[in-house]
Chain A
Amino acid sequence: MDSNSLYYSLELVAGTGCTLNIEQKSALQTSLVILKKNYKFHRVLFWGKILGLKGDYYIAQGRGENEMKDTTNLYSFNCMDWFLLPPATHTMIEEVSKTARGRFMGDPSYVYELLEIQRQGEGDDAVEEEVVTKVNEEKRLAVTVHQIDEEVSVVPRSAFIKSPHGLVQMNRSFGGLSHSEAGKLDSFLHLSESKNLKKKSILEMADLNPAIDFLDVLSDDIPKGSWSLQFECASKVCVIRSLLWPGRTFYHVPMTPQHGYIYIGDGTKNLDLPFML
């Protein structure tokens, strides 16, 4: 969620149970301003918190001109000193998904190891070779943040527009969804590279506006029911929680442009989801 609206938007997503205390909130108000200036970001988002066994990671995200592509993630332990996270590459994602297991430790230099035995050759002259893959927790953090952003970033429809040059920016004339629209999952989109859009038929594409509908719709997600949409705060605020990544909470106040999301959780994907619905 945007650092400028942090002081009230945290209250709107507090129904999930997690929040920040006053000390952390006020520290963020100070440090994110400095962060924005030093890194020359267009805007800074407080991305969330990943709970570790020994310490928690606080994560901020800086956005450049292109809201979808120019993102930089940073982490901190005390909400004041921020460290840059490396961008997640394909090899990193592969390594992390193989080795990292269990909960986050809370120590960026903690090393996850995976011992693999690879057989080379055939028959009797097969040579067993032990391959050790080592990944430190900082990399795991970078990959997790990337994956969560990829899979469960939610924006209301038409809150972002894409220019003909491919630049994705906030839509300043976005006035918010109506109450009835906010009650349906198909008025919310994934803020990540679209995957399903090309598969749609011409008939379905007819109603779409290329400037607005360049993203995937939440209601197309598989499995069905991986989102929980509720109205909270005396039924005034539309809150969407991801069941795939428990801890990701999105809020939108209907009829106002206010929207945002946060992640407060242990940084593990809910792979048991098919059993749990």
Chain B
Amino acid sequence: MDAPEEHQDSSQQSVQAAASFKAFMLKNSIKSNLNLYDHLTQVLMKVMDERPQNVVDVIEDISCDVKRGLFEDKWSTLRDLPQTTAAELLAEHQRLLFARPEEADHEEELVETPLPNVSEIGFYMEQAGVSVGREEMQRVFLALKQLVESQGLQRCRLWGKILGKESSYIIAEADYREGEEEEEQINGEAAEEEEREAEAPENENEMDPLPQSTYKPPPSVPKEAIGTGTNKFLYYVCKEPGLPWVKLPTVSPAQITVARQIRKFFTGRLDAPVVSYPPFPGNEANYLRAQIARISAGTQVSPQGFYQAGEEEGDEDEEAPRDSYEVNPDFEGLPVSEMAESLSTWVHHVQHILQQGRCTWVNLAVKPGEESNEEGEAEEKEEEPDEPEPEVGPPLLTPLSQDAEMFNTPPWSSKMSSTLTSQHALAVVRSNLWPGAYAYACGKKFENIYVGWGLKYSGEGYNPPVPPLPQKEYPSGPEITEALDPTLEEEQTLQEALEEQQAAQEEMAETDEEEEDDD
């Protein structure tokens, strides 16, 4: 009995010792939170898996390897938030430009498309040294196609690009459609009336009304009707090809007048305010539209003879400048060398904007009609001021050689696009007053484009206009002029004089009384 029991005891003891040793081995290290037991298991498993030669020599390395393997990062519970970059967002927008159209009707191909051949224009423009980048041009081309299709435009043209501080504007020019004009006019008038109503002060209920300003603004020059003058065309802008096109509002003469006096960079946001002196009536979209009108009027040129004066129906009014032209079907094209030589072969085909801010002059002294119900102050002025001299700009299709020179700088520079192969070169003119405006002509083809900051050359430097003189507060007269204080002597003499007078009067009174008493 004893022997087996002893045996059992010793075996039990050894099992216990083994268990306690295992427990010792299972104890985690304070430093690394590992235990030897697991580590050895892993090492041995590794040895069993890999069965390397001369294991005993490399056992340290294996042990190290196993330990190092534990440091590999675990699956994080935090999910990666992929950041969408601007490039990805833009690519999503531009993807739509490259969408293949569904089986278009073949009939459409017969009709003349309103879409300009932008890649051809880009090709010629590059020869002239102007470009927005070839790939960019292709994207603009596709964006124009999208615009033409979505808006159903009759005619569309790439006007150019205006750079801004934060982003640039790509500008397309389009004709107005019939029907759209009236709609727009009504909208515009309604908006104006609303504005006027909003302006009317509501201080009837107030107990103590504030003093009313006697200042009356000079009558504002009426806007030109849609489809004429500065509002002849409709303009769409977009920041990047692929982003939506935005229609610009119509321009008013006041905006053009102020735009001539200020000099501001575009920011690239259409709704940004234009902080300037004199204050600009409107936001950046209006400013952009005003600058487009000014640039168009100054720099849209065509070879002489391409357009001819339109047939004026009705009475021939001498004073009314021509405002219509049509394409001359017999135009043969001028030789390129001649076009590059002389500026008289180029003509303006957009009306000059007068000082008033309109293309056609309107007489403001004449009582404004029912259409613009001004405050009626015009009626008060019965005595008509002298009939103002009507402003007349140069007529349409005036050659560039008659342009005025400003700041001792000739307004245009012309050259040939190539000197080596002049047989196939283009004639290029560059505006010096509007840096960035170019025109080329080659045979019967010509095009204008503007790529620049949208600012006119300012010569020596820009002088902001001086604020007007402060108004007189009240008419100065004797009742409000301050008198000098009397000196002490003056006061004393005055007092003495008064006393004497009083004494004399008293005497008089006394004598009177005496006389009365006497009676």
Contacts and interface: CB of A to CB of B under 8 A. Distances in A.
Nearest to A276: B265
Interface stretch (A20-28, A38-46, A185-193, A200-208): A20-28
B203 interface: no
Contact of A11 (B133, B263, B458): B133
A236 B91 CA distance: 10
A241 interface: yes
Interface in B432-446: 432, 435-436
A20 B129 contact: yes
A17 B132 contact: yes
A23 B265 contact: no
For this complex, into which size category does the number of interface residues on chain B fall?
Answer: 35 or more
B408 interface: yes
Contacts of A169: none
A15 interface: yes
B432 A103 contact: yes
A204 B361 CA distance: 62
Interface string B455-472: 100111110100000000
Could you say which interface size class chain A belongs to? 35 or more
A228 B166 contact: yes
A233 B409 contact: no
Contacts of A275: 263-264, 462, 464
Contacts of B128: 21
B22 interface: no
A233 to B, nearest CB: 7
Interface string A205-217: 0000000000000
Contacts of B133: 11-12, 14-15, 232-233
Contacts of A231: 86-87
Nearest to A265: B435
A225 interface: yes
Q: Which of B136, B139, B166, B421 has the most CB of A within 10 A?
A: B136
Contacts of B452: 17
A14 B132 contact: yes
A9 B462 CA distance: 34
A233 B408 contact: no
Given A53-B410, A101-B460, A233-B136, A22 B86 contact: no
Contact of A23 (B165, B407, B421): B421
A78 interface: yes
A276 B275 CA distance: 10
B308 interface: no
B94 A234 contact: yes
B127 A22 contact: yes
For chain B, what secondary structure do more than half of its interface residues adopt (helix, strand, loop), or is it mixed? loop
Contact of B461 (A228, A243, A272): A272
B5 to A, nearest CB: 78
B163 interface: yes
B514 interface: no
A230 B134 contact: no
B496 interface: no
Interface in B396-414: 407-410, 413
A271 B462 CA distance: 8
B417 A53 contact: no
A275 B410 CA distance: 26
B151 to A, nearest CB: 24
Contacts of A234: 87, 90-91, 94, 135, 139
B167 A230 contact: yes
A15 B168 contact: yes
A19 interface: yes
A271 B459 CA distance: 10
A173 interface: no
A262 to B, nearest CB: 13
A4 interface: no
B344 interface: no
A32 to B, nearest CB: 18
Interface in A98-140: 101-103
Given A102-B459, A272-B458, A19 B129 contact: yes
A1 to B, nearest CB: 15
30 contacts: A11-B135, A14-B132, A14-B133, A14-B136, A15-B168, A17-B130, A17-B132, A17-B161, A17-B451, A17-B452, A18-B451, A19-B126, A19-B129, A20-B129, A21-B128, A23-B418, A51-B430, A55-B415, A101-B460, A102-B408, A103-B432, A225-B165, A228-B163, A235-B86, A236-B87, A266-B435, A275-B464, A276-B263, A276-B455, A277-B264
Interface of B: 85-87, 90-91, 94, 126-136, 139, 161, 163-168, 263-265, 407-410, 413, 415, 417-421, 430, 432, 435-436, 451-453, 455, 458-462, 464
Q: What are the 3 A-B residue pairs with the smallest beta carbon separation, nearest first?
A: A17-B451, A235-B87, A14-B133
Given A102-B407, A225-B165, A236-B87, 15 more contacts: A15-B133, A15-B168, A16-B451, A17-B436, A21-B418, A51-B435, A53-B413, A234-B135, A234-B139, A235-B91, A265-B435, A266-B435, A272-B263, A272-B462, A277-B265
